[in-house]
Every structure is written in structure tokens, then in C-alpha cells.
Amino acid sequence: MFYAESMSQIEIYRCPLAESQEALRCLHHGISADQQDALVATLEQLRRQDAIALENLIIAKEQDQILAATWVQPAPGNTAILWPPDFTSPAASELMRFVDGILNEWQVPLAQMVIGSSAEVDIEALALADFHRLVELDYLSLEQPQADPKWPASTLHFEPDAAKHPTRLHDVILQSYEETLDCPQLNDLRDPEDVVASYRAQGEYKGENWFLVQSDRTDIGVLILADHNDGKVLELVYMGVAPRVRGRAFGEHILHHAIRCAANTQAERLVLAVDTQNNPAQAMYRRAGFTAWDRRTVYARVAD
């Protein structure tokens, strides 16, 4: 259990409910514009679902004034999300030390912070809670997705409701992670059940949007989609194929199936995130008409 800590005249402690609104305004002020929108959406969702969601909202206070705030949010899949403090605050380092204590208690294998690539961060302060730069992601969008009538028919079979077959789903996800170019640092970090739980928490889960991909009646890949904004936006949460079938354009066929799904549901946008260093995937998405709308950096605390 962590209690108030002192740094000269500054106290660091979990925020009382009566001060939470002021603390959240302070937190909102300290984070980048893209995180502000995400924070508002997250809070609105949590207010409906979890009365104790803000118990790890941490504040730095001096003489009755809140100087800075940070929030450590437990997340599905045995992970945590960090909403960082204003790094210009003199209390930022002590807040990060407090975060380190919380995460040591939780012992989650992965905690992460996603922030606009142009946002200013204090690398040394983040390191106090063992957060380090993990990967840079391009956020891509296909506007008004339409199925390409010239795209050749696929020999692949897409079996929906993949989550109803957990053993098969876990097996093919683990296979798809082998020698992957998308965030390879996270391979073997969590159990398959935790990975699936984190995917399921993205957007609105619908079983018909989770596909086991088969070739010759054998599972060779997976496609996971999620609804956002009442179906106006469809997110490609994850797609991957087993190493033994790579090089056969199966990835492009899976992508075009995702585009057909978006078109069939009349989604206005199909969105995804991809590692900036994954050149083959980047090229595939660009060929399909995706364009970049943002770039963000992931800082992560990864268990040894």
C-alpha cells in the first residue's frame, strides 16, 4: 500500500474523490491533444461501468494547489495504461516514482503510454517508472471503403465467431506472432488468453467480426475487426498469418476481406495502426488506398 510521499513542500498521494475533477482538469492540461480526446472518451465509458476507476489517479499538491496529476489505469489482458503528468511540472519525477510503486504492486507484464510523436516527453522521468520507447506507429485510414470488383476471388475461407474456438484462435495467433515485423518486442510477453482479452476490449466486440482464416481447411491466419462510433468506423485490430504460408499474398486477401466487411456494413472509415518499421505491411496498406492521419509513439514498461 502506498501513502503520501513528500518532496520538500510537495505531497504525492492518491486523489480523494472530492478533488478528482480538479485533478482531471490538471491531467487533461498536461497531455497532448490526441490524448485529451482519448481521455475524455475513456472517462465517459468508465463513469458508466466502474465506480472505482479513478482510484489510481495520483496528484502532486503544494499548499492546497494541485501542481500535476497522473493516472494509472488497469486494462484488460493483464496490462495497464499510463496517462502521464505534465512533464514541465517540478513534481513530474516524483509522480513517476509513485507510478513505479503501483506497477510493482500490480506486476503486470505490460504497461504502456501512447502519445503523439510530436509531443514533448521527459525520457528521464519516464525511466523512473521503467518506461522506455517501444515503437512508433502510423495510424492509417481508408475513407468510404468499397470492395474492389477487380480483386480476384480468394481461395481462403473466413470462419466468423473465432472467439468461440479459443484453442484454435490461441494457436493461430501465436503462430502469426512468429517472426512478425509488428512490435516484435511484445512476443511471448503475455498468455494467449490475455492477448485475446486485450483485443476484445478494443471498440465494440461483435463475434461476426472475428475470423479464423483457413486455406485447404487448415487454420493459417486471423482477422479481428471492431466497431467504433456506432459502426461509422471499423477498426482492423489485428491480422496475421502463420510463417509457413507467408509470401503467398494471403495478407492482401485478408485485408481485402476486411475492406469488404467495412463496405457491407456501410462504415465510413476503416482504420488501423502499423509499426512504422514494418515496410511490407506499410506497402500493402498503401496499395489498398490507405493514407496516414496520425503518427504516435508507444512508451512501454515491459516485464523482464
Angle at 36 between CA 9 and CA 73, to 5 degrees: 65
Arithmetic mean of pLDDT, 145-151: 89
pLDDT at 2: 45
Spatial separation of the C-alpha atoms in residues 102 and 56, rounded to whole Å = 8
Average pLDDT of the chain is 89
Distances (CA, A) of 89 to 112, 126, 163, 229: 21, 13, 45, 35
Q: In this structure, which amino acid lies at residue 227? A: D
0.75 cut: is pTM over it?
yes
Spatial separation of the C-alpha atoms in residues 47 and 166, rounded to whole Å = 31
298, pLDDT greater than 60:
yes
Residue whose C-alpha is closest to residue 191's, from 102, 303, 74 = 303
Write down the CATH number for the domain with range 141-294.
3.40.630.30
Q: Which has the higher per-residue pLDDT, 142 or 43?
A: 142
% of the chain surpassing 70 pLDDT: 92
Q: How confident is the model at residue 54 (pLDDT cuts 50, 70, 90)?
A: confident
5-130 has CATH 3.40.630.30 classification: yes
Are 209 and 158 a contacting pair, CB within 8 Å? Answer: no
pLDDT in tens, 217-242: 999 999 999 999 888 999 999 999 99
Q: Quote the cell numbers at residue 216.
A: 485447404
Find the range with the poorest average confidence among 27-31, 49-53, 101-105, 193-197: 49-53
Same fold, 5-130 and 141-294: yes
Spatial separation of the C-alpha atoms in residues 256 and 266, rounded to whole Å = 15
| Sequence ranges of the domains in the chain | 5-130, 141-294
Torsion angle in degrees (nearest 10) through CA of 139, 291, 239, 298: -20
pLDDT in tens, 177-194: 988 877 767 777 789 999
pLDDT in tens, 248-269: 999 999 999 999 999 999 999 9
Are 66 and 57 a contacting pair, CB within 8 Å? Answer: no
Residue in the block written with cell 481485402: 256
pLDDT at 37: 72
Spatial separation of the C-alpha atoms in residues 194 and 120, rounded to whole Å = 31
